[in-house]
Structure 1
Amino acid sequence: MAPVDVLQLLHLAYHGSKDERTRATTELEAAMQSPEMGPACLLTLLRAGVEPSSPAEQSLSALLFVKNAMLHLIGDDVVTGTPGFLGEVESLLFTGMFRVSETHRRVLRACIMNLTSGFEWNYLGELMPLIDRDLSSVSVEESLGALELLYTYTKRFKTPGLEPTPLKLQVCAVLVRKLPQYVGYEDMRVYRLVFKLSECIVESGLQLTSSKEMSGAALDGLFQLMLAFPQQHYEAATAAGGTVYAEYVKCLKRIAMVSYSIINDATRRKRPAPVAKHFLQAHSAAFLSTWRQWLQLCVSSTGRRTHQKSEMYALRYVKLCTLDETLYTQHLRPHAMELVEQLLFPYMCFNEVDEEVFADEDDLADYVKYMMEESFGNAELSTRQAASNTILALLSRKKKFHDPAPLLQALLGILTAGFESADLTTAVGNARLFGFLHLLSILRKFLKEVPAIWEGQMSQVLVRYVAPFLQPSTPSVGVRCKAIVVCQRYSKAPMPSEADFASFMQMMCGLIQDADMRVRLAGIDAMCTLLEMKRARQYLTPIVVPLVEGCLEFLSKVQTTFVPLVILHLTTYFAPEMTPVMGKLAHTLVQHFLATMHDMERQEVDEGGVLGDDEVDVSMYEQAAFSADALLDAVLTVVTSCGENDAAFASVRVDALRLVKHVLQQPDNFDMMEKTLSILLHILYFSKPIPSECWELLPLIYALVDSGIGVDFFNSIEEVLDNFVSGAPAEFLGDTALMTATYKTCEKMLIGGVACVAECQMAPAQLIEAMLHTAKANTEHSGLFDPYLSQFVGLLLQSLVHPDIQAGDIRVRIWIIAALLDCFYYDAAATFNVIVQVNAYPSFFEGLLFFFRGCINEDASSSACGTSSAGGRKKKVKKDDAGEVMENLSLLTRKVTILGLSSLLAYATDPHLTTLSPPQREDFASRYLDPLTRLIQYSIFTNEATYAPRCATSEANLEKIKLGLEEDIEDCEISDEAVLGVDGGDDTVDACEDVLEDMDDSLAVAQMGLELDEGDDYESPIDEINEVEFFLNWVRMLPHLSPAAQAAAHAVLRPESDYLRASHTAERYRQLCKELETAVKEDFRKRAELTA
């Protein structure tokens, strides 16, 4: 293709008719994707793009196409495999930065970043001499090109480890000396680049731990330059206005970012970098003063949006100053009220951003986005949130030197005065009232810590100062919505009487039918909290239907997370009452989920386009993603809530399956896959029989694993397959094609070299176990698993000796062994024969004894896992795998062990066996009866110790259900670390370590059986089997066995009374589980009858 053709096609692609644009774009993309033609075409466009004499519009179009082609069309192999191509591209990009305009340079920088990251292009050797030259004869545009080119590379310095430290130190040394000379241009664009490069230097310094590499005072010159800039240039920038002032504000933003980064390191890391330590001592107070002055100017400015980013970092800087004793005690605490009233409170007030959001009642999209952002609490997506967190930091007790009590008292005085003097007749009065309401909403955490206020006064505050502003007579909708937020935040504050609480609830319920859509939406949001309160639900029952209708109305208008959340709560707590509308609800939720998915897919396609603007509106995409996730949760809750009502479930199932099929057909929807599989899981569980629409999904599920995508959530896939097996055992286990696919799937997950978490690699063994349990219990179709037993036993044996399994999580081996023991429970004779036939006897049993040695010999295991004393101090001893096995066994795996080994002992010692058996059977009985009986015995009495406290807990829960008792969900308060920000360094790591320590501390509780067991959510035919009685069946055979077998058994067995006690405990626990299930169903039935 000739060069003229490329340029002509480019012109048509951007400026032709619709058909011409489509044809030209297709031809250009085809040319670029051709290994033979692509490089030449790209070079032609790139030369045209950096040619100063070309028309600006044409050259910019050429560069835009080059940028997108490099990202999407030309493969890396073509770039590196075409002789001279990469070098020519690099040369044109480098020289182009000094020849084209600022707009064109922006596109070139994107191309350069692609080459530096993808092809390790380092042009500093060529560029640094141009940076370090005498500037007297260099034009400002040429210097701008050089500085932009430098920043494009040095921004990589901000990522630790991306570039070698010696290179960074070498470049930083030159820049620390040279950058101050560039400000001689007195051009705001140059200043901005100087500060952007200063940020790279500072970030490089913060990665260092030794002052030998960079002394603490090394950056003093840059900090002085930053401190001097705001005041020196404010008047001139203000007078010039326009782009000059905009550039000035961008400079301030960059300085604020740098100062925030370094104060964060200085105050929040245990071992701050030398430059951060020095900054805290030498410059932090001066920067604090600078940011206070800047914020004072900003709050009095009419163009608030212009300053937002600089304000955000300035506020964060002030917030982190609360962590330093000198800054807090000398500069913040003495002036705290002045700081709050003059600098922080103005950000609480209703402003131009709020005004734009509330301007149009019919356009809810911006309002919903605003609500979602405001509800993110400590996320600091707005200056209001940043200012709020600064106030919360001032009130914190995180440090010993903090003194928040007087400040809290003073704030309460401000709030009282503000509410009592509220003036709703003026815009200023409404704006300040909005601010007072917001301030009250953020103080909940601290007010809850003062009983006299929380228990004695809070309800009066709501009634006297907040409730009046919910009324339609309040002129400002913004004030009404903020008052709703306050009521939501304080809805769990103690009320003097039930009558007061009833009045409060009546007021909140009335919002659902308010004339203003924004008020209704805010009211629906408040329901998320109210629905968590058992006390509130009796007052919500009359508005369940209007509330559902309101939710459905808003689902058709906006994408939110809280509307589906309200539906989730409604279906959780009012499922019987909502039975008549469940079908309509599911249909609407699925429709909106599919529409949201379509919107997201369209945005992804738009993002991948080569022509035009390829920047996706990330916030809109994220909002859609959050909404889709919330809708999935709501659909799942609707499905699970219909389990006790066949008619309601039937009306929901069709739409729910439509959703499941759509997601499974788009396997790249990874984030939604697990919840979707959970929906399918429950559909299968409640379906009697399983409909054909479900069976049609099985090929999609197996394809997920075949493609590798399903490997990472195979535990969810296993649960789905388990429900197919248990719901239709004859159909599933009798289908040879399905069982072949199942075997291949298990084989891939166990010995196919997959990389996944332990829970996913345990799942194949759990699936095999489920098939064995189901087949064993199916008396109508006996022997369902017989054709596959030897194949699966062989796979499990292979898995046990596979290097990946041996080196992996011990829980995987526990489950593989449990599945093998289940094979004995299914058919001990056939399984024993397979083990003999594949030459796994006696090695398998020797390995089994070694694996469970801690259980077989508890005293030896305790010695290995325990602690020894030396000099009065405990010495930590690493647990061996025997102790780890004992720790990771569960009620379920121990029960399986009892059933499997009891079956094996019964087979091995049966004196009346009529079928042929291998000679190894007699050898097995003499060698392994003693240790395997000990293992069974350990499992029985460990389970008994776990069942006993669970029985007490179950009895208490049963009594609660009968009495209608239920604990309220506690409010979740924002932690100090969350208020300070996510970039917490060592503090954040410490917080994670604290959580892990808490988990270790709770291990004793878990071992008492009061926490979840991995078998709790697993329903199986073996639930109905008393494992102790199952073992005693063999024990009662002992008188008929050989004297040697009797002697070996009696040497191990405990008194019969112990077994009877354990049997009674196991039976009692199972009975209580059944009673709990019956009580829940009966409660549902009664409520459903009342609704009918």
Structure 2
Amino acid sequence: MSDLNKLADIFRGTIDPNERESAEKQLEMIYKIIGFTPSILRLVMADGVEMSIRQAAVIYLKNNVIAYWSDKSNGPGLDNDFNIHEADRQIIRDSIIDAIVMAPELISVHLAVCVSHIIKADFPGRWLGLVDKICIYLRHPDTKCWMGALLALYQLVKIYEYKTGDDRAPLDEAMNLLLPLIYQRCGQLLGDHSDLSICLQKQVLKIFHAFTQYSFPLKLISNEIFAQWMELFRVILERPKFRNFEQEREESNWWKCKKWVLHILSRVFERYGSPGAVSKEYNGFANFYIKTFSGCVIGLLLKILEQQGNKHYVDSRVLQLTLVYLSTAVNHAVTWKLIKPHTMLIVQNILFPLMCYTDEDDELWTTDPHEYIRMKFDVFEDYVSPVTAAQNLLHMFSLKRKEMLQKILAFVFQILNDSNSDARMIDGALHIVGSVADILLKKEMYKDQIEELLVTYVFPYFSNQHGYLRARACWVLNYFSGTRFQRDSNLASVVRSVEMCLMHDKELPVKVQAAICIQGILTSQDKAQKLMEPNITPISFEILNLLRETGNEDLTSAMQKLVCLYPEQMMPIAFEITQHLEQTFYQILDSSADEDNEDKAMTAMGLLTTIDTICTVMEDQKEIMAQLQPVVVRLVVKIYQEELMELYEEALTLVCTATTNSISPDLWKIYELMYQVFKKDAFEYFGDMMPALHNFITVDPQTFVNNRNHVLAMYDMCKTVLNNDAEEEAESYAAKLLECMILQFKGQIDECIRPFVELVLTRLTREVKNTSLQQICLQVIIAAFYYNPILLLNILNDMQPIDSNQSLFTHFINRWLSDIECFKGLHDRKICVLGLITLISLPPEKRVAIINEASPQLMPSILKLFDGLKLAYQSKANAENADEEDSEEELDEDSDVEALEDEEDHVAAADYHSRILGKINSPACPFPVTSSYLRDDEDISEDDEDEYSDDEEADFVQTALESYTTPLDADDTDVDEYVIFREVLEMLQKKDPNWYNVLMSPLKQEQQEALQSVFILASQRKAAAESRKIEKLGGYMFHTQTVPSSFNFGGTPIV
């Protein structure tokens, strides 16, 4: 492919609608040829070629690198037999940094993606020259060479951004060379105010931020080096504008440099520079940071706020990050003392105006209320919004520092009581009140006055002429929904007001806010549930209509709340509601097809979750579920057929809920579809499939097992997971499904046992990091032994490796007995006990040598498991009562909040006891207190001689995999391991006394006593099971006798 002209012609064809198909076919024919990929890179860098062709080529190159660079599987829909040849990869590695340095921006952005992917696959092993190449260009005196080098370095840092420890070592080694170099270059650029210079500075700052965001390498960034960087940050933050950036404003790299400096400062302060709130390794740095830089940084931030207060333009992200930094600073005495003299000016001149309804809000409300709603409820918008940052800073002032709440409220009520306050000022004041609602509800001096506050200052605005004040009233009331109303009439007024706003208001944002408020009220006010009940049907459909019109995700939560609180009222309309949600879902999909909209994806997820909630609430109503199941089927088919992978998790949850009690023929078709989707592109969703797959095995077992394709599909999915590079959690799920099938279909799937056993044995030959995976694989073999011991013996004998001196069965028994301590929870111990009972029950002719050799371990192992089982059953009984006990032991959520003195720092939980001890053990305290006195009541055992510690007790709690039950785990199971054990031993004592004596002879006195306890418990459990059976049949049966009309019990009658 040396002829670039021909290659250029092909890519010219890809951008011509008339020639595109032909051009793509040509590319399909030649993309595997050695030398093709480097030829594309040469074409991309050819200055004489049209830019549109170079762009088409670089995009194709990028896609090829992403798809075919790595040696491993390329993914669904791609050619898994092809990877770019190593010779071609080496050419690209040698030249791509040169290319990104020389390329124009339109090209370099795509080359940067290539670099990122190559670094991820090849650095440091195959790309040893990367760092040296970057270094060469950064040392070049021509600043035009620096941007490409910085872009490449940024890709390197981003790849390692989330790594820690040894995994991060290659980056730290590279930055040991490059960090001083980029600092030097950035320092040189400070005096140059050209566009290129400012852009280069921004890129250096982005690199430093990514390098330090999740790990701060103190070996590379000493206090002295950091101080040098801080001086650079100071210069960037306080430098004035050298040109008029007013037209560019938010797009200006001049502002973006300030933004990235504040990103760095906020992150360093929060994560590494806050004494009492950092990990031990950063304690020294935190003290250095806060003592050395607080005065300078706070001073710079106050200047930014001064600009904002004087109505000079400040970039919104710069303002937001300034407020974020100050929120962290409120926690520390050193920085608080610097902020405190300015707090009320900040509140009045900066925060309050941000909290008020603005001209921009009004324009959006009027011209595009749907966009207004989207913006106000967008969590991603909140993350970067100065308004949210202002709200958080106000909250920190009020929560953390004494007298601040009183001062802020005094300012607010002055506005609310002033007849000259305009509507926008009222909105800002109410916004502040709602922002500190949680604090007011907990403060003893305020919480009894909340009801009067709402009546006086909030209720009147439900009928205000300004729509935004009606919306604000709903918003505030939602935040105060936990108020303890003393007068039922006021609560009734609340319900009427929000119902009016929802049902009859003409303004869409008001209706949405009212719907959200209804959810809050219903969650917190039991009496409100009865007040709202008569109107719950029209309320439900109004929210459904709003949901369809706005696509607001929060409304799905409101709908879910209604469904959960009013199940009886929902029964007659459940199908209609579900159909409405289904149609809204399709509408959301159609509208989002034209645009990449994360909000709509979230709404779609919320709609599916709401439908799932309805199915969950109605799952015991057979007639209703028969109507809902087709809706579920249609939705799942739509999601799978259109490959909407972001919705796979919700779809699988729907399938799980729909199959909880019964499985219709259409749902069995969904099972087949799940298998097809798994094989195509849903390998990574196996964990999400697990609950539904378990249902298909256990809810309608006969339909499952009667169709061998069902069993084969399940086995194939498990095999795919266990034989490929899946996460070990997913592999554990796969092995658990194998165990479930073995135990569910005892005696029905003999032909499946061999492939099941072979599969887990093969997996055990590879490295296993997670002990739970190791145990569940062993359990599959134990389950197979319990299923049919002779069958398993024959399978293992057939699988015996030629070069092994030890039989597989011997290895299995030894591993089993050595791992007895590793079986946790209830089910795992039970199957282990049943397996060992099966082992000791084998007839003499089937007792191979290893069984006799291991006989001294058998009974002690069984007794140890029974000891654990007893506690596991107790733990299960305790868990069933846990909710009630937890509610009694919950901490009082309304407890007052203690603000800090000016000299105090807010400390993390780890240091809280130290601070309390410091106070208590002051000279004024007559008794020394140690941390042992500060334990929570629930941490103190009722019995100091309890045999098990908290950590040991965790061994008896249900394990994650045990939630996927088998017939052995049913409450009414006939398989009682205690009863079976006793019966087997009694049988052996009679029919095989020699073997019985061999088993019993190793037992010590305490083990014999434990055995007796097991026997007693077996008798009790047998009697209890018989009683349950009789009770099921309608109670004890007596012979029919003539009953006299009166009785004489003797003695004197009571009356």
State the TM-score, normalized to the length of structure 1.
0.73
Does residue 421 of structure 1 match 2:368? no
Contact kept in structure 2, 1:800 and 1:813, CA below 8 Å: no
Alignment partners' CA distance in 1, 2:845 and 2:57: 77
Alignment partners' CA distance in 1, 2:157 and 2:769: 36
Seen in structure 2, the aligned counterparts of structure 1 residues 114 and 534 have a Cα distance that, compared at 3 Å, is same
Q: Aligned partner of 1:260: which letter?
A: S
Choose from 294, 317, 321 the match for 2:329: 321
Does residue 517 of structure 1 match 2:542? no
Mapping of residues 63-82 of structure 1, within 5 Å = 64-72=55-63, 77=84, 81=88
Contact kept in structure 2, 1:685 and 1:727, CA below 8 Å: yes
The range that moved more, 713-722 or 343-352, is 713-722
- How far does residue 185 in structure 1 lie from its aligned partner after superposition? 4.5
- How far does residue 461 in structure 1 lie from its aligned partner after superposition? 1.9
Which position in structure 1 is the counterpart of 2:383? 380
Say which SS state the counterpart of residue 569 (structure 2) adopts.
coil
- How far does residue 562 in structure 1 lie from its aligned partner after superposition? 1.6
Which position in structure 1 is the counterpart of 2:727? 756
Contact kept in structure 1, 2:544 and 2:580, CA below 8 Å: yes
Which position in structure 1 is the counterpart of 2:445? 452
Which position in structure 1 is the counterpart of 2:255? 249
Contact kept in structure 2, 1:369 and 1:623, CA below 8 Å: no
Seen in structure 2, the aligned counterparts of structure 1 residues 446 and 496 have a Cα distance that, compared at 3 Å, is same
Choose from 603, 618, 624 the match for 1:627: 603
Does residue 812 of structure 1 match 2:773? yes
Does residue 432 of structure 1 match 2:446? no
Mapping of residues 14-33 of structure 1, within 5 Å = none
Alignment partners' CA distance in 2, 1:643 and 1:325: 56
Does residue 346 of structure 1 match 2:353? yes
Which position in structure 2 is the counterpart of 1:683? 658
Contact kept in structure 2, 1:216 and 1:275, CA below 8 Å: yes
Alignment partners' CA distance in 2, 1:87 and 1:800: 45
Which position in structure 1 is the counterpart of 2:341? 334
Choose from 803, 807, 828 the match for 1:893: 828
Mapping of residues 540-619 of structure 1, within 5 Å = 540-597=532-589
- How far does residue 308 in structure 1 lie from its aligned partner after superposition? 0.6
Q: Which residues of structure 1 form unaligned runs of 5+?
A: 51-57, 97-103, 134-142, 398-403, 604-616, 777-782, 855-880, 910-917, 977-985, 1076-1092
Which position in structure 1 is the counterpart of 2:1012? 1054
Alignment partners' CA distance in 2, 1:748 and 1:296: 62
Alignment partners' CA distance in 1, 2:728 and 2:1031: 34
Which position in structure 2 is the counterpart of 1:389? 392
- How far does residue 654 in structure 1 lie from its aligned partner after superposition? 0.8
User: Which string of whole-angstrom CA distances, capped at 9 and with x for unpartnered residues, describes residues 456-480 of structure 1?
Assistant: 1222222222222222xx1332232
Choose from 965, 968, 972 the match for 1:1018: 965
Seen in structure 2, the aligned counterparts of structure 1 residues 84 and 263 have a Cα distance that, compared at 3 Å, is closer
Does residue 364 of structure 1 match 2:370? yes
Contact kept in structure 1, 2:718 and 2:734, CA below 8 Å: yes
Contact kept in structure 2, 1:590 and 1:659, CA below 8 Å: yes
Seen in structure 2, the aligned counterparts of structure 1 residues 793 and 227 have a Cα distance that, compared at 3 Å, is closer
Choose from 747, 757, 760 the match for 1:796: 757
Say which SS state the counterpart of residue 346 (structure 1) adopts.
helix
The range that moved more, 641-650 or 266-275, is 266-275
Mapping of residues 821-840 of structure 1, within 5 Å = 821-823=782-784, 825-827=786-788
Say which SS state the counterpart of residue 568 (structure 2) adopts.
coil
Seen in structure 2, the aligned counterparts of structure 1 residues 556 and 40 have a Cα distance that, compared at 3 Å, is same
Contact kept in structure 2, 1:154 and 1:197, CA below 8 Å: no
User: Which string of whole-angstrom CA distances, capped at 9 and with x for unpartnered residues, describes residues 289-343 of structure 1?
Assistant: 222122222244386xx611211222223233334432222x1133322332233
Alignment partners' CA distance in 1, 2:637 and 2:667: 9
Does residue 295 of structure 1 match 2:305? yes
Q: Aligned partner of 1:311: which letter?
A: L
Seen in structure 2, the aligned counterparts of structure 1 residues 492 and 274 have a Cα distance that, compared at 3 Å, is closer
User: Which string of whole-angstrom CA distances, capped at 9 and with x for unpartnered residues, describes residues 387-428 of structure 1?
Assistant: 22223333455xxxxxx121122222223323222657xxxx
Q: Which residues of structure 2 form unaligned runs of 5+?
A: 70-83, 120-126, 161-167, 899-906, 913-934, 940-947, 1002-1007, 1035-1055
Of all paired residues, the percent bearing the same amino acid is: 15
Alignment partners' CA distance in 2, 1:84 and 1:743: 44
Contact kept in structure 1, 2:744 and 2:966, CA below 8 Å: no
Alignment partners' CA distance in 2, 1:381 and 1:824: 59
- How far does residue 22 in structure 1 lie from its aligned partner after superposition? 6.0
Q: Aligned partner of 1:812: which letter?
A: L
Seen in structure 2, the aligned counterparts of structure 1 residues 105 and 1012 have a Cα distance that, compared at 3 Å, is closer
Q: Aligned partner of 2:308: which letter?
A: C
Choose from 619, 643, 653 the match for 2:619: 643
Say which SS state the counterpart of residue 619 (structure 2) adopts.
coil
The range that moved more, 218-227 or 286-295, is 218-227
Mapping of residues 4-19 of structure 1, within 5 Å = none
Alignment partners' CA distance in 2, 1:774 and 1:244: 63
Does residue 479 of structure 1 match 2:437? no
The range that moved more, 644-653 or 692-701, is 692-701
User: Which string of whole-angstrom CA distances, capped at 9 and with x for unpartnered residues, describes residues 165-206 of structure 1?
Assistant: 576455554565565554555546634534543564687689
Seen in structure 2, the aligned counterparts of structure 1 residues 537 and 831 have a Cα distance that, compared at 3 Å, is farther
- How far does residue 288 in structure 1 lie from its aligned partner after superposition? 1.7
Does residue 692 of structure 1 match 2:699? no
Does residue 784 of structure 1 match 2:748? yes
Seen in structure 2, the aligned counterparts of structure 1 residues 545 and 29 have a Cα distance that, compared at 3 Å, is farther
Contact kept in structure 2, 1:715 and 1:763, CA below 8 Å: yes
Q: Aligned partner of 1:372: which letter?
A: D
Alignment partners' CA distance in 2, 1:89 and 1:798: 44
Alignment partners' CA distance in 2, 1:63 and 1:1005: 65
Choose from 827, 846, 850 the match for 1:920: 846
User: Which string of whole-angstrom CA distances, capped at 9 and with x for unpartnered residues, describes residues 111-134 of structure 1?
Assistant: 356447637666445534543x7x
Q: Aligned partner of 2:60: which letter?
A: A
Which position in structure 2 is the counterpart of 1:884? 822
- How far does residue 513 in structure 1 lie from its aligned partner after superposition? 0.5
Q: Aligned partner of 1:796: which letter?
A: V
Alignment partners' CA distance in 1, 2:133 and 2:852: 77
Contact kept in structure 2, 1:524 and 1:551, CA below 8 Å: yes
Alignment partners' CA distance in 2, 1:31 and 1:198: 44
Mapping of residues 397-408 of structure 1, within 5 Å = 397=400, 404-408=401-405
- How far does residue 657 in structure 1 lie from its aligned partner after superposition? 0.9
Contact kept in structure 2, 1:46 and 1:66, CA below 8 Å: no
Seen in structure 2, the aligned counterparts of structure 1 residues 1042 and 269 have a Cα distance that, compared at 3 Å, is closer
- How far does residue 491 in structure 1 lie from its aligned partner after superposition? 0.8
Say which SS state the counterpart of residue 380 (structure 1) adopts.
helix
State the TM-score, normalized to the length of structure 2.
0.75
- How far does residue 383 in structure 1 lie from its aligned partner after superposition? 0.4
User: Which string of whole-angstrom CA distances, capped at 9 and with x for unpartnered residues, describes residues 322-379 of structure 1?
Assistant: 34432222x1133322332233232222224433432236x414412421338x8xx6
Q: Aligned partner of 1:412: which letter?
A: L
Seen in structure 2, the aligned counterparts of structure 1 residues 239 and 683 have a Cα distance that, compared at 3 Å, is closer
The range that moved more, 85-94 or 729-738, is 85-94
The range that moved more, 1021-1030 or 842-851, is 842-851
Contact kept in structure 2, 1:358 and 1:477, CA below 8 Å: no
Contact kept in structure 2, 1:292 and 1:343, CA below 8 Å: no
Contact kept in structure 1, 2:743 and 2:966, CA below 8 Å: no
User: Which string of whole-angstrom CA distances, capped at 9 and with x for unpartnered residues, describes residues 711-765 of structure 1?
Assistant: x444554543443344444443233444344444444445x2543233x333344
Does residue 193 of structure 1 match 2:200? yes
